[in-house]
Structure 1
């Protein structure tokens, strides 16, 4: 009985290996690409994207991490105020990426641009409008008082 099993086992192994083989023709997965563009205005509908040159040397709407949006969204969003950054386009609207030597030498973070005021973790331009309005009132008042004399 042992001899019969021993003689039959090479055939069984052969049958098992042919059954368990994977297909020889493997398909390469498609690399997702962003929408082709000519300028940033073409990417306005895709939040957090800008028109950049992709690895295939075509201009496409890509997220700031140079990856295409997935289902219309970037995996990484804009950096909030006081977060580390490398470039202005990584920061939220109204903010820029600047060196702040009070934290660490040569470390860049997102801060509100000149003329914007930080409010509720956002950069509001209302500060600029109030300053301009105040200057207008002061100038008008100064002109009125000089004409009166």
Structure 2
């Protein structure tokens, strides 16, 4: 059986390796030569303006003075951490961590609207006043801040523990 497979498979592999490639001949998969000129590069959105205080973003509707994990500069960003387009943000999105808010309904899941703890050494929180309210991790429900995001690792650990306990009880009851 193995010898038969070898006599069929080996010639097929060798034939596949010996067929010249047609990529350089200008053929597409539909048999049409690619003669279209390359498209010009699309303009990229300008970066959001830098800021050092939340008040500097007041002129750009829907923005907050925040620092993200991918940019060391605090900027006036929309709630989804993207720069405003034509000086405006899409008002329908919820806000990410550290964005200014007036109530928790404006914040993403796992976040609540509260006063920032500006007494710690986090430079990204120094842009706020003690009276400002921002979206923060909902610590009461198990969300913890880590690298500019909120993690629900405590909830996940509890869930895994519960699954293991239930599985052990079920296994015990079966025997």
Q: TM-score, normalised by structure 2?
A: 0.34
The higher relative CO (CA closer than 8 Å, separation ≥ 6) is in 2
Which is richer in strand? 1
Report which of the two structures shows the higher radius of gyration computed on alpha carbons: 1
Q: TM-score, normalised by structure 1?
A: 0.38
